A and B are shown apart, each in its own frame.
Chain A
Amino acid sequence: MSGNGTGTGIGASVKRKEDVRFLTGRGRYTDDINLPEQLHAHILRSTTAHAEIGGIDAKAARKAPGVHAVFTGADMEGVGGIPTGWLIHSKDGSPMVEPPHPALATGKVRYVGDCVAIVVADTKEQAQAAAALVEVDYRDLPAVATIAAASAEGAPLVWDEAPGNVCYDWEVGDKAATDAAFESAAHVVSIDVVNQRLVPNAIEPRAALANFDPSTGDYTLYTTSQNPHLTRLLLGAFVLGIPEHKLRIVAPDVGGGFGSKIPHYAEEAILTWTAGKLARPVKWTCDRMDAFKSDTHGRDHKSTAELALDADGAFTGLRVSTTANLGAYLSTFAPCVPTYLYGILFAGPYTTPAIYVEVKALFTNTVPVDALRGAGRPEATYLLERLVEKAARVTGIDRVELRRRNFIREFPYQTPVALQYDQGDYDSTLDLALAAAEWDGFEARREEAAARGKLRGIGVSTFIEACGIAPSAVVGSLGARAGLYESGSVRVHPTGSVTVFTGTHSHGQGHETTFAQIVSEMLGVEFDAVEVVHGDSARIPFGMGTYGSRSLAVGGSAICKAVDKVVAKGKKIAAHLMEASVEDVEFADGTFTVAGTDRSRTIGEVALTAYVPHNYPEGLEPGLEETAFYDPLNFTFPAGTHVAEVEVDPETGEVELLRVACSDDVGRIVNPMIVAGQLHGGLAHGIGQALLEECRYEDNGQPATASFMNYTMPRAADLPSFDLRHNTTLCTHNPLGAKGVGEVGSIGVPPAVINAVLDALRPVGVTEIDMPATSQRVWQAIQDAKAS
């Protein structure tokens, strides 16, 4: 495991195998797949945020050209609702309010985009045209679209069973100890922040193609999923009652997910059920406008936090009170995002001894919220790093020095909020980033900019993540309704090529390359002789999929374990062939050797023997194929320092992001080019949140930002070149020493950017600003500061 970075092994920037097909238009996405006799579906969605359905008249639609069927919620009665995967308990021990989620709305619609009917026709255009003929009698009810509206006295209820629209009121940490810390504090600093709602906007919209074979009773669903087995579990066991052996889920090439393709969606259930009803394949592909209204959204928090410090600037206590908007229904991982992926992050890289976090989660008449790149950890990091920055201003202690004074330096470190960090080196990581950013020379750059009439600022964030989620027993005790292990199978073929089956799913992460590098190096076979298969429940033993930066740390570890089993069996075969004792056989670089001799057999010779076992150890099964399940022992803890430098045009409020320098500890790096790509993508995401993106609703629950005309995605021209450095410490509890990288940018960079904006605006009297720091918001803040 000591990859030297050359060739194609661990540490080498091997060009991605998958890019040949992606860059030449040969990718095979769900919408590219067509089956004989296929029909096309249009999902009719609610146009109102909250209403009773007085009735649905589909007579005209059913008679429209090409239409085969129109189904509504009444037709699907008896079919199970869409389940959620995590149960949270409130402070008082009561379980969260878990309302039903019928795939097609019955009785009421609860957000603009809620599924109301499916129209199936020969062509997509016919289905869409017929859907316009479906008359839905909406009897509008008052809606709540924001945290403020949902938590107001006497607010309309999204669910009658959820008074005050509260799903749960959760806490973590020692309240009494934290309160005591505040009583004896030398300084108390408080802050209010909003973490705005975002739309994930994967480039490939969601799609599904369902088929049913009445001769066998087999269902197949091609779908845009980050975790096909999880979808099979939820769809099969909870919604449609189809046993695993009769339900195949295929997630072929998937064009990005960012969390929005984790959940099991109503459309997957509707399509599969409809295919069964009609005994015909049925395809649905979402368009961008419907994607804005139906892909799960992310973030949407409003928080107040206080930090207690002693006279020397040591953090002594942290109190956080957050309200989270979950939307109208509980999506698959929604309940755990603002709790166990958020509250337990608040130690950050600091030794704060007492922390108390409470989170109230609310229902609103909006699109359900679920994981979005970082999922809870960006929200925690942003809040903490804004607060630490403010503490530096209030205490007068230099902001870098204040962070350094509070760094954790002894590992393992038990935080007061459940996590135990295994390893890290925050000082060196910080040093590296500051050097890359030329932090010390900044004041000269500020002066130079001021001479041009510009306000220049620099900002830093130091952070940890908790990734590679996580030991099944631990997450089970916290309310997860699934285990979070991973599977890997390694099949060495008779002539020595290898097929690897992973339960993770690659939708941009490059697993086909990275995992092949690992197996190629471990087994000593050619990189091109290793093929990685993922995304098909009929080919993969089992899997929990890809999210939470878990694929290398958890999925890669399962593959390593499977390779270890292959090598162990190979040693038995080699020992027999070389008439040696198994204990004396060593394996390196693809060759089994009898220690201290020149006797050896290659992995190819051993594989052939395994499949042509004429001369073979007695009692040993033929074949060379092993499966391993890996259940992680702990979370992994990537850490980093991000520095951003901006220039504000005080006339227009425009923020120009000039520099981003990052120093990250992501554990073992298998492919530096892929790691850089993941960092670039995450940084773009985080910069988008800091400066550009915001999903808003009108008071009546109509989406106000439902297209790219007014929802600003980051573009290449909005981004500077990134200066990426690495300060690697290895994870202590998985075989690769891997920690995870997919979410680093979206977690670490937003507070660095906003701290830089505030640093720039300090000379004109602006002390607070919310994300996104758009030109108008910055200009307005300057005007307000001038006026006060």
Chain B
Amino acid sequence: MEDFQYHAPGSVDAAVSLLRDAEDGKVVAGGMSLLPLMKLGLAAPGGLVSLGKVSGLDGIADRGSEIEVGALCTHAQVAAAEIVRERIPALAAMAEGIGDAQVRNRGTIGGSVAHNDPAADYPAACLALGATIATDRREIAADDFFLGMFFTALEEDEVITAVRFPVPTRAGWAKFPNPASKYAVAGVMAADGPAGVRVAVTGASGDGVFRVAEMEAALASSFEPASVAGVSVSAEAMLSDDAAGPEYRAHLVTVMAKRAVEEA
């Protein structure tokens, strides 16, 4: 691992200014993605700005038509939160299925969303539910936020403060995990809510999370598992790895979509 400067500011504003000043600075929250990358030499930030001492970012609040999840909420927190379990059970189920217990106890929603790993689970939930990502300076719709593998609309010195999920009429989550890494091979959230009927898929495409218009249209006319069971996605657009080649992965997208609707 290369040497780096470590900062632990006490406020979002201080974090932003440290990021602005740092040479190749990077925000770290739970560190579940960034630290392994640094250990492997695949990331070598010059300055690490920890949000660990920033208070007020780890709450979950019921805002009526929305659930607001602070950026530093861990996956375990979201999975266990009564508000989430009652109002968006699909989101709690999704959080409960991330990684393993250690990862869920350290990893944060803000980190997951900012990292935008093509196999991370949260991007699918954000996109399907039509979430809003709040930062130190603005609010970004999920539709405008995820711009491709490991690529988001965030600026270099921008810090996520919360993610707001509109409460859907119904939503379901189904994931087929990689047997070794437990990352999604195909993870699908299907939702019927304020943002309309949406189907968002993670883990399956090298471009990161995506929506399936044909499934959404089928569900809009009838929100039933059978509506999506016959809708396939193109194998050509799929990732291919040890756990799943493109055809198997495309097939799993359909199966997971069907199961997500069943869960909804």
User: Interface residues, chain A, CB within 8 Å of chain B?
Assistant: 125, 651-653, 692, 696, 704-705, 708-713, 774-776, 779-780
Q: How far is the CB of A509 from chain B (nearest CB, A)?
A: 28
A704/B255 in contact, CB under 8 A: no
B255/A705 in contact, CB under 8 A: no
**What are the interface flags for B226-264 relative to A under an 8 Å C-beta threshold, 1 for contact and 0 otherwise?**
000000000000000111110010011001000000000
Is B64 located at the chain interface by the 8 A CB criterion?
A: no
A780/B248 in contact, CB under 8 A: yes
Q: How far is the CA of A194 from the CA of B166 in the complex (A)?
A: 52
A708/B180 in contact, CB under 8 A: yes
Is B176 located at the chain interface by the 8 A CB criterion?
A: yes
Q: How far is the CB of A126 from chain B (nearest CB, A)?
A: 13
- Known contacts A652-B255, A709-B181, A775-B243; 16 further A-B pairs (Cβ under 8 A): A125-B1, A652-B176, A652-B252, A653-B248, A696-B242, A705-B242, A708-B181, A710-B178, A711-B180, A712-B179, A712-B180, A774-B179, A775-B179, A776-B248, A779-B251, A780-B248
Chain B residues with CB below 8 A from A775, complex form: 176, 179, 243
Q: Which of A696, A709, A776 contacts B180, CB < 8 Å?
A: A709
Q: How far is the CB of A174 from chain B (nearest CB, A)?
A: 43
A710/B176 in contact, CB under 8 A: no
B179/A692 in contact, CB under 8 A: yes
Chain A residues with CB below 8 A from B248, complex form: 653, 776, 779-780
Q: How far is the CA of A709 from the CA of B181 in the complex (A)?
A: 5
Q: How far is the CB of B40 from chain A (nearest CB, A)?
A: 8
User: Interface residues, chain B, CB within 8 Å of chain A?
Assistant: 1, 176, 178-181, 241-245, 248, 251-252, 255
Chain A residues with CB below 8 A from B181, complex form: 708-710
Chain B residues with CB below 8 A from A710, complex form: 178, 180-181, 241-243
Beta-carbon nearest neighbor of A704 in chain B: B242
Closest 3 CB pairs of A and B: A712-B180, A712-B179, A709-B181
Chain A residues with CB below 8 A from B243, complex form: 710, 774-776
Q: How far is the CA of A653 from the CA of B252 in the complex (A)?
A: 10
Q: What are 20 A-B contacts with C-beta separation under 8 Å?
A: A651-B255, A652-B252, A652-B255, A653-B248, A696-B242, A704-B242, A705-B242, A708-B180, A708-B181, A709-B181, A710-B180, A710-B181, A710-B243, A774-B179, A774-B243, A775-B179, A775-B243, A776-B243, A776-B245, A779-B251
Chain B residues with CB below 8 A from A779, complex form: 248, 251
Chain A residues with CB below 8 A from B180, complex form: 708-713
Chain B residues with CB below 8 A from A696, complex form: 242
Q: How far is the CA of A779 from the CA of B1 in the complex (A)?
A: 41
Beta-carbon nearest neighbor of B251 in chain A: A779
Q: How far is the CB of B33 from chain A (nearest CB, A)?
A: 12
Q: How far is the CA of A774 from the CA of B251 in the complex (A)?
A: 16
Chain B residues with CB below 8 A from A704, complex form: 242
Q: How far is the CA of A696 from the CA of B243 in the complex (A)?
A: 13
Chain B residues with CB below 8 A from A774, complex form: 179, 243
Beta-carbon nearest neighbor of B244 in chain A: A776
Chain A residues with CB below 8 A from B179, complex form: 692, 712, 774-775
Q: How far is the CB of A231 from chain B (nearest CB, A)?
A: 31
Chain B residues with CB below 8 A from A692, complex form: 179
Chain B residues with CB below 8 A from A708, complex form: 180-181
Q: How far is the CB of A49 from chain B (nearest CB, A)?
A: 19
Q: How far is the CA of A775 from the CA of B180 in the complex (A)?
A: 12
Chain B residues with CB below 8 A from A712, complex form: 179-180
Chain A residues with CB below 8 A from B244, complex form: 776
Q: How far is the CA of A712 from the CA of B183 in the complex (A)?
A: 12
Q: How far is the CA of A450 from the CA of B178 in the complex (A)?
A: 26
Q: How far is the CA of A611 from the CA of B255 in the complex (A)?
A: 78
Q: How far is the CB of A781 from chain B (nearest CB, A)?
A: 12
Chain A residues with CB below 8 A from B255, complex form: 651-652
Beta-carbon nearest neighbor of B36 in chain A: A709
Chain A residues with CB below 8 A from B178, complex form: 710
Which one of A125, A652, A774, A779 has the greatest number of beta carbons of chain B within 10 Å?
Answer: A652
Beta-carbon nearest neighbor of A651 in chain B: B255
Q: How far is the CB of A336 from chain B (nearest CB, A)?
A: 32
Q: How far is the CA of A704 from the CA of B180 in the complex (A)?
A: 13
Beta-carbon nearest neighbor of B252 in chain A: A652
Q: How far is the CB of A711 from chain B (nearest CB, A)?
A: 6
Chain B residues with CB below 8 A from A652, complex form: 176, 252, 255
Q: How far is the CB of B206 from chain A (nearest CB, A)?
A: 16
Q: How far is the CB of B8 from chain A (nearest CB, A)?
A: 23
Which one of B179, B243, B245, B255 has the greatest number of beta carbons of chain A within 10 Å?
Answer: B179
Beta-carbon nearest neighbor of A287 in chain B: B39
Q: How far is the CA of A618 from the CA of B181 in the complex (A)?
A: 72
Q: How far is the CB of A683 from chain B (nearest CB, A)?
A: 18
Q: How far is the CA of A779 from the CA of B242 in the complex (A)?
A: 14
Beta-carbon nearest neighbor of B1 in chain A: A125
Chain B residues with CB below 8 A from A653, complex form: 248
Q: How far is the CA of A242 from the CA of B255 in the complex (A)?
A: 64
Q: How far is the CA of A727 from the CA of B178 in the complex (A)?
A: 39
Q: How far is the CA of A774 from the CA of B255 in the complex (A)?
A: 17
Q: How far is the CA of A704 from the CA of B1 in the complex (A)?
A: 24
Chain A residues with CB below 8 A from B176, complex form: 652, 775
Q: How far is the CA of A183 from the CA of B127 in the complex (A)?
A: 68
Q: How far is the CA of A692 from the CA of B179 in the complex (A)?
A: 8
Q: How far is the CB of B43 from chain A (nearest CB, A)?
A: 16
Chain B residues with CB below 8 A from A709, complex form: 180-181
Q: How far is the CA of A713 from the CA of B181 in the complex (A)?
A: 10
Chain A residues with CB below 8 A from B251, complex form: 779
Beta-carbon nearest neighbor of A289 in chain B: B40
Beta-carbon nearest neighbor of B243 in chain A: A776
Q: How far is the CB of A216 from chain B (nearest CB, A)?
A: 40
Q: How far is the CB of A780 from chain B (nearest CB, A)?
A: 7
Q: How far is the CA of A15 from the CA of B248 in the complex (A)?
A: 48
Chain B residues with CB below 8 A from A705, complex form: 242
Q: How far is the CA of A710 from the CA of B244 in the complex (A)?
A: 11
Q: How far is the CA of A258 from the CA of B179 in the complex (A)?
A: 22
Chain A residues with CB below 8 A from B242, complex form: 696, 704-705, 710
Chain B residues with CB below 8 A from A125, complex form: 1
Q: How far is the CA of A776 from the CA of B241 in the complex (A)?
A: 11
Q: How far is the CB of A370 from chain B (nearest CB, A)?
A: 24
Which one of A653, A708, A711, A779 has the greatest number of beta carbons of chain B within 10 Å?
Answer: A779
Chain A residues with CB below 8 A from B241, complex form: 710
Q: How far is the CA of A713 from the CA of B180 in the complex (A)?
A: 7
Q: How far is the CA of A774 from the CA of B179 in the complex (A)?
A: 9
Q: How far is the CA of A711 from the CA of B178 in the complex (A)?
A: 10
Q: How far is the CA of A125 from the CA of B241 in the complex (A)?
A: 32
Q: How far is the CB of A390 from chain B (nearest CB, A)?
A: 27
Which one of A696, A711, A776 has the greatest number of beta carbons of chain B within 10 Å?
Answer: A776
Q: How far is the CB of B119 from chain A (nearest CB, A)?
A: 11
Q: How far is the CB of A696 from chain B (nearest CB, A)?
A: 8
Q: How far is the CA of A125 from the CA of B242 in the complex (A)?
A: 32
Beta-carbon nearest neighbor of B100 in chain A: A715
Q: How far is the CB of B1 from chain A (nearest CB, A)?
A: 8
Which one of B176, B244, B248 has the greatest number of beta carbons of chain A within 10 Å?
Answer: B248
Q: How far is the CA of A780 from the CA of B249 in the complex (A)?
A: 11
Beta-carbon nearest neighbor of B2 in chain A: A129
Q: How far is the CA of A774 from the CA of B1 in the complex (A)?
A: 35
Chain B residues with CB below 8 A from A711, complex form: 180
Q: How far is the CA of A705 from the CA of B180 in the complex (A)?
A: 10
Q: How far is the CB of B198 from chain A (nearest CB, A)?
A: 23
Beta-carbon nearest neighbor of B180 in chain A: A712
Q: How far is the CB of A65 from chain B (nearest CB, A)?
A: 12
Chain B residues with CB below 8 A from A651, complex form: 255
Q: How far is the CB of B120 from chain A (nearest CB, A)?
A: 14
Q: How far is the CA of A386 from the CA of B244 in the complex (A)?
A: 26
Chain B residues with CB below 8 A from A780, complex form: 248
Q: How far is the CA of A578 from the CA of B248 in the complex (A)?
A: 83
Beta-carbon nearest neighbor of B229 in chain A: A651
Q: How far is the CA of A186 from the CA of B178 in the complex (A)?
A: 46
Chain B residues with CB below 8 A from A713, complex form: 180
Beta-carbon nearest neighbor of B256 in chain A: A652
Beta-carbon nearest neighbor of A696 in chain B: B242
Q: How far is the CB of B203 from chain A (nearest CB, A)?
A: 14
Chain B residues with CB below 8 A from A776, complex form: 243-245, 248
